[in-house]
Amino acid sequence: MNTPLRAAFRAGLAGSLIALHLALVGMVEAFNKREIIQDTVTLGQLLLLGVSIGTALYALQLIPQERRATRDGWLTALVSVSVVSLTLMLLSLAIQTINLRFMFQNASKELVRILTFHTPGVVGLVKLWLFILVGGILGVGYLFVPRPWNRVLSIAAGATLIMGVMRSIVTPLLPDLLVDALYTASGLKRIGAVVLFVLWSAILYTYPRWKARAQTLQTLEVRLGPRTIPLPVFLGIVVLFALPAILREEGSYLFEVLDMVGIYIIMGFGLNIVVGYAGLLDLGYVAFFAIGAYTMAVLSTPELPVVREFLTQTIGRSTLNFWEIIPIVIVISLISGVLLGVPVLKTHGDYLAIITLGFGEIIRLLVISDLLKPILGGAQGITGVARPTFFGKFVINESWEYFYLIVITIGIALYISVRLRDSRAGRAMKAIREDEEVAKAMGIDHVAAKLSAFATGAVMAGLAGALFSSRLYSIAPHSFNVLISINVLCLLIVGGMGSLPGVVVGALALVGLPEVLREFAEFRLLVYGAALIIMMLYKPEGLWPERARVSPIAKEVFGDRLQQLKIE
């Protein structure tokens, strides 16, 4: 077992390495440009504060639990963060005395000013030490604050800081009077931060009292014709469809972000069927996305003479409209999914991933090849993609108008996913995911289940690609690289493999948040990697994991044991 001093130095070393990494790759300097609370906290400072808090909590994990809330706990945590602060002090002094930029480009004078709070000399170093020390005190203080206040205060602080970071998203949702009272042009006002912190604390503290009432509301239903839907779902649908009417005057940026999140949600639902339900690791999923996008573009653009001539001879017109192409996209995507599924029926795991990755690269190379340039546009891409029209007059052009179409498509994809999850075919896919040999021994048709998964997932990706190309009015091959497949797989992992709400949560976390912080796009992959490592260590099942479902008979037989295991 680690002694307090040994644990402190071990945690301090880990925290120092993380702090040095964040500083020397440029994240602290870049993130410092984003202000969270006016003249008080920037995103760069918050990164260092987070490292300090994490170091203190990690140090406490290294000593026996009975000693954490004692003097030994305080000593361990404060020594560990002191090691971090000493490391950053030495970095600041080294940058000022030695030219480190020949090795570390981001070891600049501006980094020193940020670390020392724009105060030269010993005073700046003392400020740095005190700042890191505050993080350690906050980390240890979490253990001493009685429940439920420790959770309430920490979550309230996190929610307040998030509302400061996401100013561009939050302010359009609030009345102008409230925005003027809480926000500046770049972040939260100090009084606004205090008000939000108190408000969030009050809401979270009183949550257990009105939780029962909220659960009662969840049982209420709204009748729509012969069917009924839960009241929260109905209210959510109303809010989604009312959102463009309320916020479209605030500018299109919010809906640009929401549209991209929506497209990834559609792809996420499709890949969730392939990977989450059937357990088939598909790294070439972007191929179906590209097939849908290029089908929409090729059949609707007037730029490709070969296609125009073929369509003119076939149907008497040189192009097709959006609604005529959608069924073709569905059919071609479905056929593509089956064609990919047939050769990989006998492969598993890594081999399946490599084959599907190769399929995605084949599609990308075909798109940029000179041989198919008269048909697919080559490396230059295609412009003039059809926009959706209604009654031949109303044309969807704006991002807020596409929002309606994307939400409807999400609803269709969600409906298919729910029905498939609760169907016999969905249970067959999950049986194959758990153990294919046992599933085949039980009489499950693994060929039909796998091909159904590939085909259904391909159709959803194709629809997402068709919406993507139509919304942009143009497409280019660089929009369909392998990173698209990786991003969709990452949002499934972060949200929760096999979980439908997890798809939405993962898309918001890995697509929506980076779009809000677009100026830090160069660090996106770094943040992805760090987030996945943290997820795998502390919450491997995802932010919103799938809950196991059993039959009503099993519920009657096992009863309370299922509740203890949190199985629905």
Return the domain boundaries, the chain.
Answer: 1-144, 221-250, 252-505
pLDDT for res 307: 84
pLDDT tens digits, 135-193: 889 888 887 788 788 888 888 998 999 888 888 778 877 888 888 889 988 889 999 99
User: Does residue 81 contact residue 141 with C-beta atoms inside 8 Å?
Assistant: no
Q: What is the mean pLDDT of residues 301-305?
A: 84
Q: What is the mean pLDDT of residues 95-111?
A: 86
Residue 337 has pLDDT above 80, yes or no: yes
pLDDT for res 555: 53
Q: What is the mean pLDDT of residues 14-22?
A: 93
Q: pLDDT confidence of 133, banded at 50, 70, 90?
A: very high
Residue 301 has pLDDT above 80, yes or no: yes
Label the pairing between strands 474-475 and 382-383.
antiparallel
User: Does residue 508 contact residue 261 with C-beta atoms inside 8 Å?
Assistant: yes
Burial 488-513 (b: 16+ CB within 10 A, else e): bbbbbbbbbbbbbbbbbbbbbbbbbb
Q: Angle 446-472/322-341 helices, nearest 10 degrees?
A: 140
Q: Is residue 524 packed enough to be buried (19+ CB in 10 Å), middle (13-18) or exposed (0-12)?
A: middle
pLDDT tens digits, 175-187: 888 888 899 888 8
Residue 568 has pLDDT above 60, yes or no: no
Label the pairing between strands 35-37 and 382-383.
unpaired
Q: CA 125 to CA 556: how far, in whole Å?
A: 65
Residue 520 has pLDDT above 90, yes or no: no
Within the chain, how many helices (H) and strands (E) appear? 27, 8
pLDDT for res 1: 46
Q: What is the mean pLDDT of residues 193-221?
A: 78
Average pLDDT of the chain to the nearest whole number? 85
H or E segment and range at residue 36 = strand 35-37
Q: Which residues contact 446 (CB under 8 A, 6 or more apart)?
A: 345, 432, 436, 439, 440
DSSP 377: -
Q: CA 427 to CA 443: how far, in whole Å?
A: 13
Q: pLDDT confidence of 248, banded at 50, 70, 90?
A: low
H or E segment and range at residue 230 = strand 227-230
pTM of the model: 0.84
Q: What is the mean pLDDT of residues 514-530?
A: 72
HSE of 210, CA atoms in CB hemisphere, 13 A: 8
pLDDT tens digits, 352-392: 889 899 988 898 888 888 888 888 888 888 888 989 988 77
Q: Which residue has the higher pLDDT, 66 or 334?
A: 334
Q: CA 556 to CA 547: how far, in whole Å?
A: 18
pLDDT for res 302: 84
Q: Is residue 327 packed enough to be buried (19+ CB in 10 Å), middle (13-18) or exposed (0-12)?
A: exposed
Strand, helix or coil at 183? strand
User: Does residue 54 contact residue 142 with C-beta atoms inside 8 Å?
Assistant: no
Q: What is the mean pLDDT of residues 482-498?
A: 88
Q: Which of 367, 356, 352 is nearest to 290 (CA)?
A: 367
Q: Which residues contact 157 (CB under 8 A, 6 or more apart)?
A: 197
Alpha helices in 145-189 (DSSP H): 149-165, 167-170, 176-182
- Residue linked to tokens 């260590």: 537
Peptide bond into 148 cis (omega under 30): yes
DSSP 34: S
pLDDT for res 469: 93
Q: pLDDT confidence of 67, banded at 50, 70, 90?
A: confident
Lowest mean pLDDT among 31-40, 50-59, 322-331: 31-40
Cβ count within 10 A of residue 78: 17
